[in-house]
Structure 1
């Protein structure tokens, strides 16, 4: 009897939701670079860069996890033959 398997981290919504939130907030911060009267807003620029960096890091983690899950499924299929 096999125990129910815990879902792969890529199948959980937390990482994907965090990635989308960081990307959306980064886009909003980037639109605030030229705030009131067209003046440059340095805090908005820094925030946008940090949020986009977080988005890219989470995207890389998600992509690697997706590849690892595919490899795991492939190995299981080969073992069952």
Structure 2
């Protein structure tokens, strides 16, 4: 019997992408200093953007997963 695919919340690659983009954004922010221009500013903006989008998707997937688990638990009580 094949194993079912893991939920995005449970995949380590998704969490590592999120944490890596946050770390890279923080490093570029510290490297750029107050004058964010050029490559460091663009990289910082992009990595924080990737972090925000992936964090939002992670939270949405977690809420939907918890809701589905709640619905499955309620099915047994309603029957």
Tell me the distance in 2 between the aligned counterparts of 1:6 and 1:80: 24
* TM-score of the pair, normalised by structure 1: 0.82
Tell me the distance in 1 between the aligned counterparts of 2:50 and 2:67: 26
Structure 1 residue 41: Cα displacement: 4.4
Which ranges of 4 or more aligned residues in structure 1 deviate by more than 4 Å?
38-41
Which structure 2 residues correspond to residues 1-81 of structure 1 after superposition, within 5 A?
5-34=4-33, 41-81=37-77
In structure 1, runs of 5+ residues without a counterpart are none
With over 3 angstroms needed to count, the CA separation of the structure-2 counterparts of 1:60 and 1:70, relative to structure 1, is same
Structure 1 residue 12: Cα displacement: 1.2
Tell me the distance in 1 between the aligned counterparts of 2:70 and 2:18: 27
Structure 1 residue 32: Cα displacement: 1.3
The count of residues paired between Structure 1 and Structure 2 equals 77
Tell me the distance in 1 between the aligned counterparts of 2:4 and 2:15: 21
Structure 1 residue 42: Cα displacement: 1.9
Deviation per CA, 1:50-70: give whole Å up to 9, x if none: 100000000000000000000
* TM-score of the pair, normalised by structure 2: 0.84
